[in-house]
A and B are shown apart, each in its own frame.
Chain A
């Protein structure tokens, strides 16, 4: 990546072809060395990461905060994938229960959200919207399903 049409082209300007490609200017050497280091670092990291034990996706859902809105309540969710492989189209469901019930049929209200992608080790956020105040009920969060990209 050097020489221009206006200046003397590389073919036109004879250069000393000594050892170690002495024709290349210092800047080219430095930037080239930077490229080499970056490339080796990237490949090294990828190889190292590939050698780490692989864990299947494992979804952890946590409530970030709950806030009242004009027409109901929002529950902000942190979804974390503790595995090493990514998941796609993750379905998240939130269920509100009275003290008694526990099965899905007993839920007073359900809300759903989906996340496009959740890479291994990463956290993404979503929001579930309820009409009832989740703080007055028992809120259960479930990851319902996803597909492996």
Chain B
């Protein structure tokens, strides 16, 4: 065997080895991220309560989300986009296997249940687990040595992922609706203002670390361009999740806005912190 062939083979083995290590890490990330939802009653129940079309839409949207996350989440954008798509499906497979392995063990699904209930429970959890699997690469420390700063759109996509990451665990619970009903209009406004201030502090910290326009950005420029836009993304993410879970049915606008502000609190912090964490 020539040395060139040996080198090719060695590199192939290294790549496979790294893939296995990455796969293990992905399972770790799926667990870390999804254990709260795997052990939350409302999430199991949404598996059979949720409108099937909305659940199917949620699953379908998971793939571009994961692929986009793979694209922006740490690797240089110059890499072949097909690898991001493959990575998205790998993350989905990891999420699916995690859900299928854990839900019967926890007694959440068993063979006496109708197929629709099992598929609903598994696919909802698989979707959430797969985001965790994709998060694993950044949470468990995988940043390439030299990384290009993503552009504005990239930053906002990362903010969207961060918003999802923090709000997905909380959105299915009754508490979101209950809090919105318990809080008065003044408290809701106060929470919205607090969310914005916290987000701005986090965005500023990220801006500073990211060295993007360091020292150049004025308070208002950064506030309007980054913080407010990220908050709007967080509110929209909150509304879409609540809509997917059928939480907005039959409620007037002001009540829905209350829900969005309550869920927008974790979503907003996630959106702003995303660049620090991811």
| In contact, A120 and B83 (Cβ under 8 angstroms) | no
| In contact, B86 and A24 (Cβ under 8 angstroms) | yes
CB distance from B12 to the nearest CB of A (A): 7
Q: List 18 A-B contacts (CB under 8 A).
A: A1-B137, A3-B22, A9-B142, A9-B144, A11-B144, A25-B15, A25-B18, A31-B89, A32-B93, A35-B89, A38-B96, A45-B115, A50-B52, A86-B48, A119-B48, A119-B49, A119-B117, A149-B49
| Residues of the A chain whose Cβ atoms lie less than 8 Å from the Cβ of B89 | 31-36, 39
CB distance from A13 to the nearest CB of B (A): 8
A17, A34, A122: the one contacting B114 at CB < 8 Å is: A122
| Residues of the A chain whose Cβ atoms lie less than 8 Å from the Cβ of B114 | 119-122
| Residues of the B chain whose Cβ atoms lie less than 8 Å from the Cβ of A123 | 112
Q: Mark A residues whose CB is within 8 Å of B.
A: 1-5, 7-13, 17, 20-21, 23-29, 31-36, 38-39, 42-43, 45-47, 49-50, 86, 117, 119-123, 149
CB distance from B3 to the nearest CB of A (A): 18
Q: Which residue of B lies closest to A119 (CB)?
A: B48
B45, B85, B90, B96: the one contacting A1 at CB < 8 Å is: B90
Q: Which 10 A-B pairs have the closest CB atoms?
A: A35-B93, A35-B89, A11-B144, A121-B114, A21-B82, A119-B48, A50-B52, A35-B92, A32-B89, A2-B22
| In contact, B145 and A1 (Cβ under 8 angstroms) | no
Complex Cα spacing A36 to B80, Å: 19
CB distance from B144 to the nearest CB of A (A): 4
| In contact, A46 and B120 (Cβ under 8 angstroms) | yes
Interface segment, B56-64, B194-202, B235-243, B251-259? B56-64
